[in-house]
Structure 1
Amino acid sequence: MRYQAALRSADARPLPLRRMARKEKICRCLEIAPVAPRRIYIRRRYFMQLQRNFRALPLINALWLIGRGAFMGINCTGCRDGSDLDVAFSMAFQPIIDISTGDVFAHEALVRGLSGEGAGHVLGQIKDHNRYAFDQQCRVKAIELAATLFDRQAPTKLSINFMPNAVYEPRACIRVTLATAMKTGFPLDRIIFEFTEDERLDTAHVLHILRTYRDMGFKTAIDDFGAGHAGLALLSQFQPDIVKLDMELIRDIDTNPVKRTIVRHTLAMLNDLGVVPLCEGVETTGELKVLRDLGVRLVQGYVLARPTFESLAATAELDGLFATAA
């Protein structure tokens, strides 16, 4: 089965070494192998030595994520499944609609407090020490809820936001996701991993994650395209399955000819690259109509449906909103 193949490819394997300056088994630690619990701190000078000593340069690049001149400590006992997370949360789901057919293309999983509090209530509790565990548990929670709520016979996809700075080595950090999908029977090709481009991100590391996820059968998406500083540069190196146009480009597009021109040319570019555009943050029927006239198929926003806590928006409600926008 595809799950087993993906798990095999994510298994921890010894990395080829020429020599080691010290005895810390850094690679095994980050591959989530059963090594003795310890904290490893690597200074910049030691990092440069590692680059000379290790042939596994992609891993070394993936390690160099956090801090200026030093790594944060990595606790091996807490980097398996995120089960030691000290923050309680759940998920809401917002549908992504194919407005050419009225079908639900996907649902995006959005973090919420246990009583439905907004994302800020949860994200404000995420710090460096629990970022990895939170990222892991977001994936687990989203897949488990989706497996319960989604129609198994429908091709509806699940969109999960991930934090690139919480992924040390993608094949190692994906193992809990794969195990959860296998346990719940949720197909890998129905999972979309999306991230927001950010000026603080290591582009090489992000590209490594996206390419790895694609190779393992997942769909990929860039969120808030047009808001960050490196959108086009990133797109020139990797073409994801989906690009989500930033809501600021969509806001008032029905009354702003400049935004219409920008979006029209962006859509043409994405079409030439074979990337599916998705317009998010659509809040009015006027915006929806313009996007439909421009040939946009995938739309997400309050005009269609708001996020619903631990449930899915009713199809009948969506049909009524389409009639209003006609």
Structure 2
Amino acid sequence: MPFLIHYSNLDKQAFLKSLEEKGFKVKPFGGGTYILDIPEDGTKENIIDRLAELDKHFLKGLRLSYVPDEVSLQSRDALIRTLLNMKTFDKMIEEFLVYQRKEILDSLYAVFQPIIDLRHFELFAFEALCRGKLPLYYLMKFAKPILETIDWTCREKALKKKKEEIPPPIKIFLNFFPESLQNVRIASERLFELLNKNGISPQEIVVEITEYAGFDVKKLKQLVKEWRELGIMIALDDIGTGEDSLFRFLEIMPDVIKIDMVFIRDIHKNKVKRDITRYLINLAHANDMLVVAEGVEVPEELKVVYELGADLVQGWLLGKPTEHPKAFLYTPIASKLKQWL
């Protein structure tokens, strides 16, 4: 089933080229509109899934409407109805999610990105990330009613894979969103139920708090205290970004902080980034915390964060997210690090 689309941004040629690269068939229709289809399987679901892979900048300028077929647009009344029914891509996704709950949950799977120990030149942990038929951005924005279910489904699949492919003492970072911690008692029970089910020790878990808005700080501090006493480590993500990240740092006093990639990208070319990163590392070490430098993509960035004293490092240079973490266990990490450092 094709779509009639209209693109309002100025970079229309770049947008059309991006569509073609994704396998779409794009045909000019008139008045600045286009017929959009996928030759091999042009169902509504496949088209929306494929469009969701585009850059968010492109999607903001896109309006679209379902059409049964191109022939139906030859009717003036049908064309007018189609034009009046055009929606933004965000609105289309919102409606799509209402009817696709089961398909969305079934499509979820975990991928794992390695976190490397720069003190001992070895694998420290994997961060479990969630993937599915739609990017997490859209699920976070539009799937609020089922976001908690999505969050726990991802966590369950990640722990199952941990049991199968990631032996102790290698840890796994599990992301937690506010929706999953509204009731801290239930959240704690669910987590330990999953750990017991998969035979995983709390000492193998790092709970990563990925967003701060929406958390009840008092309840969160209570939960953190309980989990830490049982051997779970607590990590705070995106330290240094957001107006309240340092406040959360003071309130929670985590075991691990993750310095956002905005400070790591091109750090070898930017003195201010080096100064900020050095300050955050010194602050963490003064309080017996480990530091993860996120988003390391080139050897020059790795060398700088190593010299500044980062304990752990994560990024595409060290390993991209993979569905099969077991394969990474045989990577010669030490020889690679020695080559770059």
- TM-score tier, shorter chain, comes to 0.5 to 0.7
Q: 1:93 aligns with which of 92, 99, 112?
A: 112
Gaps of 5+ in 1: 1-82
The answer to whether the 8 A contact 2:235-2:257 is kept is yes
The answer to whether the 8 A contact 1:240-1:275 is kept is yes
Alignment of 1:4-43 (within 5 A): none
**Cα displacement (A) at 1:301:** 0.4
SS of the residue 1:129 aligns to:
helix
Alignment of 1:141-290 (within 5 A): 141-151=157-167, 154-290=168-304
Which has a greater percent of helix?
2
Aligned partners of 1:304 and 1:95: how far apart in 2?
Answer: 7
- CA distances 1:216-238 after superposition (whole Å, capped 9, x unpaired): 43211000111121122122222
**Cα displacement (A) at 1:120:** 3.2
The answer to whether the 8 A contact 1:197-1:231 is kept is no
Task: Describe the shift of the 1:317–1:92 C-alpha distance in structure 2 as closer, same or farther (beyond 3 A).
Answer: farther
SS of the residue 1:174 aligns to:
helix
Task: Describe the shift of the 1:93–1:119 C-alpha distance in structure 2 as closer, same or farther (beyond 3 A).
Answer: farther
RMSD over aligned CA atoms reads 2.4
- CA distances 1:102-150 after superposition (whole Å, capped 9, x unpaired): 211110001112xxx6743773686222122122222211111101011
Larger Rg: 2
Aligned partners of 1:192 and 1:173: how far apart in 2?
Answer: 15
SS of the residue 1:87 aligns to:
helix
Task: Describe the shift of the 1:172–1:84 C-alpha distance in structure 2 as closer, same or farther (beyond 3 A).
Answer: farther
- CA distances 1:60-95 after superposition (whole Å, capped 9, x unpaired): xxxxxxxxxxxxxxxxxxxxxxx9895220100001
Report the residue type matching 1:112 in the other structure: R
Aligned partners of 2:311 and 2:219: how far apart in 1?
Answer: 31
SS of the residue 2:331 aligns to:
helix
The answer to whether the 8 A contact 2:184-2:219 is kept is no
**Identity rate, percent:** 30
Match of 2:152?
136
The answer to whether the 8 A contact 2:166-2:325 is kept is no
Task: Describe the shift of the 1:124–1:267 C-alpha distance in structure 2 as closer, same or farther (beyond 3 A).
Answer: closer
**Cα displacement (A) at 1:296:** 1.4
Aligned partners of 1:276 and 1:259: how far apart in 2?
Answer: 19
- CA distances 1:177-223 after superposition (whole Å, capped 9, x unpaired): 21221121110111111012444544334434433432443211000
Aligned partners of 1:316 and 1:118: how far apart in 2?
Answer: 31
Aligned partners of 1:295 and 1:278: how far apart in 2?
Answer: 10
- CA distances 1:155-182 after superposition (whole Å, capped 9, x unpaired): 1001000112332221222222212211
**Cα displacement (A) at 1:321:** 3.4
TM-score normalised over the length of structure 1:
0.67
Aligned partners of 1:201 and 1:85: how far apart in 2?
Answer: 29
Task: Describe the shift of the 1:258–1:125 C-alpha distance in structure 2 as closer, same or farther (beyond 3 A).
Answer: closer
The answer to whether the 8 A contact 1:107-1:159 is kept is yes
Report the residue type matching 1:325 in the other structure: W
The answer to whether the 8 A contact 1:170-1:213 is kept is no
The answer to whether the 8 A contact 2:178-2:211 is kept is no
The answer to whether the 8 A contact 2:212-2:245 is kept is no
Task: Describe the shift of the 1:272–1:107 C-alpha distance in structure 2 as closer, same or farther (beyond 3 A).
Answer: same
The answer to whether the 8 A contact 1:92-1:111 is kept is yes
Aligned partners of 1:251 and 1:195: how far apart in 2?
Answer: 22
Gaps of 5+ in 2: 1-100
TM-score normalised over the length of structure 2:
0.64
Report the residue type matching 1:109 in the other structure: A
**Cα displacement (A) at 1:101:** 1.9
The answer to whether the 8 A contact 2:111-2:323 is kept is yes
Residue correspondences, number = 239
Match of 1:316?
331
